[in-house]
C-alpha cells in the first residue's frame, strides 16, 4: 500500500479551500437584505449634501473648541460646556461610522478614507480607556494631544483635499528620488567641510565640530537662512576655499535641488486640480443633460396621458351622443393618436430626405475631386 505523498495533501487542501470559498461566494451573491428600504434611506441620508454640510460644520466646530481648550482661563470657565460638546462630537462621529457600515458593511473597509475615519475614531476613544485604567499622566497627555488628528476627517468630506492628496500620492516616488539626491549632496559636502574647516576652537564646535552639526549647518545654508553668519565664522580662520564652498553648495542645494523639489510637487498638483475642475464641469453637464432628459420624458408622459384622456373623451362622446347627430369618429384616420403618429413619421421622413440630400452632395464632391485628380494624372 503506497503512502500518501505530501504534494497530494497540498493539492487536496487547496482544492478544498477553493470549494469552500466558492460556496461562500455563492451564498454571499445570492444573499439579499431584508431591510433594503431602510438601507436605501440611510444611504440617501449619508450621501446627501445636507449631511456633508453637517459633518463639515461639526468637524470645524470641534477643531475650534479644541483651540479654546488650550486656554486655561476659558477652559476653567466653560468646563461644563466643553464636556457636553465633547459628548456631542463623539456621538456624531460614532453615528456616522455605524450608518456607513450599515449601508455597506463589506465595501466600507475597502476605502482608504474610511479606514482613516476608523483610526481617528479609535484615537478619540483612547483617552477614555486610559482614564478608566488610570494610566500614567504622560500617556494621557499624549492621547489628548493626538485628538488634534480629528480635523483630518475633513479629508473624507472634501473632494478638493482628496484630489490634492491623490496628486501628492502620485509623486511620492519622484519626491523620494529628489530627497535621496539632496541627502547625497549633503553627505558629500558634510565630509568635505569636515576635513576642510576642521577647527580646534570650542566656539566653532557647534558648526563644524562633528558630522551631525555639519548636517544642520549645511541645511541652514540650503535654506539660505543665516548663511552670512556661517560664512563670517569661516572667514575668521582665513579659509581660502570657504567662499567657493559656500557659493557652490548654495547654488546646488538651494537654486537647483529645492527648485526641482518645489516644481515636482507643483506640476502634478496643478494637473490634478485642472482634472478636478474638468470633472466637475463634466459632472455638471451630465447632471444638466439628465435633468433635460427627465423633463422631456415627463412632458412625453403628460402628452401621452392627454392623448389617452382625449381618446377616452371621444369614446364617451360617441356613446353619449344620439344617433341623429352625425359625427365622424369611427374612422382610425380621424383619431388624435393616429394624427400624432402620422405627423411624427412625416418629421422623420423629412429628416431622412435631408440626410440623403447631404449624402448625395458629399458623394458628388468626392466624385468631382476624383475626376480632377484623374485629369491631372492623364495630363502629367
- Top pLDDT among 163 and 12 is at 163
**Which range, 111-120, 192-201, 333-342, has the best average confidence (pLDDT)?**
111-120
Mean pLDDT of all residues in the chain?
77
pLDDT attached to residue 18: 62
Specify the DSSP element, H or E, that contains 146: none
Which residues are CB-contacts of 302 (< 8 A; sequence separation ≥ 6)? Answer: none
CATH placement of domain 27-157:
1.20.120.350
206 or 63, higher pLDDT: 63
- Looking at mean pLDDT, say which of 69-73, 116-120, 260-264 comes out highest: 116-120
Cell of 301: 408622459
DSSP string for residues in 86-118: HHHHHHHHHHHHHHHHHH-TTGGGG-HHHHHHH
- DSSP summary character for residue 256: I
Instruction: Flag the least confident range among 11-15, 102-106, 146-150.
Output: 11-15
For residue 346, what pLDDT is reported?
A: 84
Confidence of residue 308 (pLDDT cuts 50, 70, 90): low
pLDDT by residue (tens digit) across 182-201?
A: 888 888 888 888 777 765 45
Summarize pLDDT for 234-276 with one digit per residue, the tens: 777 666 677 888 888 888 887 887 777 777 777 777 777 777 7
186 Cβ contact partners less than 8 Å away, ≥ 6 residues apart:
215, 218, 219, 222, 253
Contact 163, 273 (CB under 8 A): yes
SS (H, E, C) 225-253: CCHHHHHHHHHHCCCCCHHHHHHHHHHHH
Name the residue with cell 482544492. Answer: 15
More confident residue, 75 or 58: 58
Which range has the top average pLDDT, 106-110, 200-204, 322-326?
Answer: 106-110
pLDDT at residue number 27 = 60
Q: What is the mean predicted confidence (pLDDT) over 33-54? A: 85
Q: What is the pTM of this model?
A: 0.52
Banded pLDDT at 95 (limits 50, 70, 90): very high
Measure the CA–CA gap between 77 and 205, rounded to whole angstroms: 50
Say yes or no to pLDDT of 86 above 50.
yes
pLDDT digits (tens, 9 = 90+) for 355-374: 888 888 888 888 888 888 78
**Across 45-57, average pLDDT:** 89
The second-level CATH assignment, the architecture, of 162-271 is: Orthogonal Bundle (1.10)
Average pLDDT over residues 1-18: 51
Tell me: pLDDT of 6 over 50: no
Mean pLDDT value of segment 9-34: 59
CA angle 65, 145, 139 (to 5 degrees): 140
Hey, where are the domains in the chain? 27-157, 162-271
Amino acid at each position: 500500500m503506497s503512502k500518501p505523498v505530501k504534494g497530494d495533501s497540498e493539492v487536496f487542501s487547496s482544492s478544498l479551500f477553493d470549494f469552500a470559498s466558492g460556496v461562500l461566494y455563492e451564498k454571499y451573491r445570492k444573499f439579499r437584505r431584508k431591510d433594503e428600504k431602510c438601507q436605501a434611506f440611510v444611504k440617501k441620508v449619508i450621501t446627501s449634501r445636507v449631511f456633508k454640510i453637517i459633518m463639515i460644520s461639526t468637524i470645524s466646530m470641534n477643531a475650534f473648541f479644541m483651540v479654546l481648550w488650550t486656554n486655561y482661563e476659558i477652559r476653567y470657565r466653560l468646563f461644563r460646556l466643553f464636556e457636553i460638546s465633547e459628548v456631542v462630537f463623539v456621538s456624531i462621529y460614532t453615528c456616522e461610522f455605524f450608518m456607513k457600515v450599515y449601508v455597506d458593511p463589506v465595501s466600507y473597509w475597502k476605502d482608504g478614507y474610511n479606514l482613516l475615519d476608523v483610526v481617528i475614531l479609535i484615537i478619540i476613544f483612547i483617552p477614555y480607556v486610559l482614564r478608566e485604567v488610570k494610566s500614567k499622566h504622560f500617556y494621557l497627555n499624549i492621547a489628548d494631544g493626538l485628538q488634534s488628528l480629528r480635523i483630518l476627517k475633513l479629508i473624507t468630506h472634501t473632494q478638493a483635499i482628496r484630489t490634492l492628496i491623490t496628486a501628492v500620492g502620485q509623486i511620492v516616488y519622484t519626491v523620494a528620488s529628489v530627497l535621496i539626491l539632496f541627502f547625497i549632496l549633503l553627505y558629500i559636502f558634510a565630509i568635505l567641510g569636515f576635513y576642510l574647516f576642521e577647527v580646534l576652537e570650542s566656539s566653532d564646535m557647534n558648526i563644524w565640530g562633528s558630522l551631525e552639526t555639519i548636517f544642520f549647518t549645511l541645511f541652514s545654508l540650503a535654506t539660505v537662512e543665516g548663511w552670512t553668519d556661517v560664512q563670517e565664522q569661516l572667514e575668521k580662520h582665513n579659509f581660502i576655499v570657504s567662499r567657493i564652498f559656500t557659493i557652490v553648495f548654495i547654488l546646488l542645494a538651494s537654486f537647483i535641488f529645492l527648485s526641482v523639489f518645489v516644481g515636482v510637487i507643483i506640476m502634478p498638483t496643478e494637473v490634478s486640480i485642472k482634472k478636478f475642475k474638468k470633472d466637475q464641469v463634466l459632472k455638471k453637464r451630465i447632471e444638466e443633460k439628465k435633468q433635460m432628459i427627465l423633463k422631456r420624458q415627463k412632458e412625453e408622459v403628460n402628452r401621452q396621458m392627454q392623448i389617452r384622456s382625449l381618446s377616452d373623451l371621444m369614446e364617451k362622446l360617441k356613446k353619449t351622443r344620439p344617433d341623429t347627430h352625425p359625427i365622424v369618429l369611427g374612422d382610425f384616420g380621424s383619431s388624435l393618436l393616429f394624427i400624432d403618429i402620422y405627423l411624427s413619421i412625416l418629421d422623420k421622413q423629412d429628416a431622412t430626405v435631408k440626410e440623403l440630400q447631404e449624402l448625395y452632395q458629399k458623394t458628388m464632391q468626392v466624385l468631382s475631386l476624383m475626376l480632377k485628380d484623374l485629369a491631372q494624372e492623364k495630363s502629367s
